[in-house]
Structure 1
Amino acid sequence: MKTKAWLFLILANIFWAGNLVFGKSVTADFPPVWAAFLRWAIAASVLLPMAQLVEKPSWIQIWRRNWGLLLFMSLIGIAIYTLLTYTALKYTSSTNGSLINSLTPAVVSVLSFLFLKEKVKFRQGAGLILSLIGVLTVLTKGRLLAIFDTSYNMGDAILLAAVFLWAVYSIVSKRAQHLPPIAFVAMTAVLGVLFMTPLLFMQPLHREQVTPLGIMGIIYLGLFPSIGSFLFWNRGVKELGAGKASITMNLMPIFTAGLSILFGQPLLLSQVIGGTIVIAGMLLSANPMSRKQAVSNAGAHHGGELTLKPVSHIESKCT
């Protein structure tokens, strides 16, 4: 049973890595806003009937009691975050995107310390600093001393903004733990699609540029990272606990690099070195939870990333 749980967690992370790799190729056919819109439209069309079948939620009651929270989280976590991610992937590599996303736990920790007064242990802080050095190694192509003189890629800067928004989303998402998880993600997906609809006219879609590969990529984004990762992650957390499950998130940069190579994207030495440092930092900062905590968290709600990243995943990691 535990072997199957680890397999579920690995698959979830592979699908999340695929979001960045396929997202990179999809933006060659679709404008970023169309990529984000179609991804969540596909996900919503599957999640709505799934939630009705599995959870049978009271949709109207959920909306009346949580409309402000749902609007905020769909705007920040579905519409803006996803749009920024796909916009960034037009200018930077999927490998860079994965490594920059790995900064999320550091940003979450800082915001939690500033606004929630949560303490940061020495080991956790040291690991986060080490991870930051790893990301800077990637962004500066290994020339850390030239950090202030380096001309940064616009895509990297956009992803850093997305990481900040996702950190805000992850902190606020704790307020949604009382909601049915599938219904919650379905509702935020629908609202996110509605938010993005007016923006479609700002980036018109040129149908003649859409290829079969681009269509396959959109379908992948709508099904695998948006739904598949969500289901596999929750199954793995249920068996192993959130603490152990979070360790597997350190594999995502490796999976992203591997998939990028398969799709013909070059892998730089600075990315290899930086990625190794990032993973080492994440392992150092991992805070093993007690068995009692892990069992307790395993039953908690794990809400959307948008790549549908669950709440527990964000608290322990990150997009």
Structure 2
Amino acid sequence: MKTKAWLFLILANLFWAGNMVFGKSVTADFPPVWASFLRWVIAASVLLPMAQLIEKPSWIQVWRKNWSLLLFMSLTGIVIYTLLTYTALQHTSSTNGSLINSLTPALVSTLSFLFLKEKIGLRQGAGLALSLIGVLIVLTKGQLLAVFGTRYNAGDAILLAAVFLWAVYSIVSKRAQHLPPITFVAFTAFLGVFLMIPLLFMQPLHPERVTPFGITGILYLGLFPSIGSFLFWNRGIKELGAGKASITMNLMPIFTAGLSVLFGQPLLISQGIGGAIVIAGMLLSANLMSRKQAASKAEDERQHRGDIALKLALQNEKKHS
């Protein structure tokens, strides 16, 4: 079960890496409000019938019992977070954006410790630090001290606020575990679309500026980061907890670098080394059993099965005697 949860989290971050790549290009065609609105219109159009077909929820009952939670999650994770991210991408570089996003695991772990009393074990803390080092190696091209010489701007401050909101979303999402996963994301997406309608008049759309690549980007944003990432992320948090799940967000810069290679950019040695360090940190934080522990557990299971078999054999012998 935990292996599947880690896989879900990896896929969620892969799709989010695409969100960073396509998001910056999409905002050249669409204002941030329209990019956010159209993204979640597409997502809600798919999620609502999917939830009805698979989970068959009682929508009115779900709303009556959870309206405050759903409204809060929609405001933080759908409306404000998305708007801040696309606004920030208009003013900051992808490198700065990735650097600031790398603060998310530490922030989520801290908030989880403060409000959810989730303990940060030695292995998890070491893995978190190791992953962060790997991220910095990728972002600074192996020159770690360059992080102190980076020039920051208003976009960086906006993205920092977005990262904080995402950390809050991840923490509070634990309270939504009782809700069917597709229904939960569908409801928050629908509320987000409704809440963004008044904001559309603040940033008018210019259809003549829209390109086929921009439309393709919007479709990607509406399907993969909005549906796939949110479903996988919420499932991963449910299984592993917010603090441990957030460590996988250090994979985003690695995936972003990989996607950049597909668009013709070369892969640097520092990116390969940093990516390996990030993965090592993730495996350490995953708290996987050592070989000795695994062997001991397997031996206990074999002994347990042997005891059951012996007991059954004695019972059969007694019946036939």
Scaled by the length of structure 1, what TM-score is found? 0.74
Partner of 2:42: 42
Shift in alpha-carbon separation, 1:149–1:196, aligned structure 2, 3 A = same
Shift in alpha-carbon separation, 1:272–1:209, aligned structure 2, 3 A = farther
TM alignment of 1:115-264, pairs within 5 A: 115-136=115-136, 144-145=144-145, 150-229=150-229, 251-264=251-264
TM alignment of 1:56-95, pairs within 5 A: 56-94=56-94
Report SS of the residue matched to 2:187: helix
- Deviation digits for residues 291-316 of structure 1, max 9, x if unmatched? 9xxxxxxxxxxxxxxxxxxxxxxxxx
Shift in alpha-carbon separation, 1:228–1:118, aligned structure 2, 3 A = closer
Q: CA deviation at 1:15?
A: 2.8
Shift in alpha-carbon separation, 1:260–1:90, aligned structure 2, 3 A = farther
Aligned residues: 287
- Deviation digits for residues 7-42 of structure 1, max 9, x if unmatched? 987655543322221112111111111111110011
Partner of 1:305: none
Structure 1: distance between partners of 2:202 and 2:30: 13
- Report which of the two has the higher share of helix: 2
Q: CA deviation at 1:288?
A: 3.2
Question: Percent identical across equivalent pairs?
Answer: 84
Partner of 2:316: none
Is the CA contact 1:139–1:156 (under 8 Å) kept in the aligned structure 2? no
Unaligned runs of 5+ in 2: 295-321
Structure 2: distance between partners of 1:75 and 1:30: 21
Structure 1: distance between partners of 2:90 and 2:23: 9
Q: CA deviation at 1:91?
A: 3.3
Structure 2: distance between partners of 1:53 and 1:146: 52
Greater C-alpha radius of gyration: 2
Q: CA deviation at 1:149?
A: 5.3
Q: CA deviation at 1:101?
A: 3.1
| Amino acid aligned to 1:128 | L
Report SS of the residue matched to 2:151: coil
| Amino acid aligned to 2:56 | K
| Amino acid aligned to 2:261 | I
- Deviation digits for residues 64-120 of structure 1, max 9, x if unmatched? 111110110000010111112222222344465455434322211111112223221
Partner of 1:297: none
Q: CA deviation at 1:58?
A: 0.7
Q: CA deviation at 1:133?
A: 3.9
Structure 2: distance between partners of 1:266 and 1:91: 24
Q: CA deviation at 1:185?
A: 0.7
TM alignment of 1:24-35, pairs within 5 A: 24-35=24-35
- Deviation digits for residues 125-180 of structure 1, max 9, x if unmatched? 12223334444556666655465554225444433322211111111011111111
| Amino acid aligned to 1:26 | V
| Amino acid aligned to 2:42 | I
Partner of 2:55: 55
Is the CA contact 2:51–2:183 (under 8 Å) kept in the aligned structure 1? yes
| Amino acid aligned to 1:158 | I
Is the CA contact 1:38–1:218 (under 8 Å) kept in the aligned structure 2? yes
Is the CA contact 1:94–1:260 (under 8 Å) kept in the aligned structure 2? no
Structure 2: distance between partners of 1:4 and 1:287: 15
| Amino acid aligned to 1:89 | L
| Amino acid aligned to 2:37 | F
Unaligned runs of 5+ in 1: 292-319
Structure 2: distance between partners of 1:177 and 1:5: 14
More moved, 180-189 vs 14-23: 14-23
Shift in alpha-carbon separation, 1:266–1:143, aligned structure 2, 3 A = same
Is the CA contact 2:136–2:274 (under 8 Å) kept in the aligned structure 1? yes
Report SS of the residue matched to 1:20: helix
| Amino acid aligned to 1:122 | L
Is the CA contact 2:36–2:83 (under 8 Å) kept in the aligned structure 1? yes
Partner of 1:301: none
Structure 2: distance between partners of 1:147 and 1:237: 30
Structure 2: distance between partners of 1:10 and 1:149: 31
Scaled by the length of structure 2, what TM-score is found? 0.74
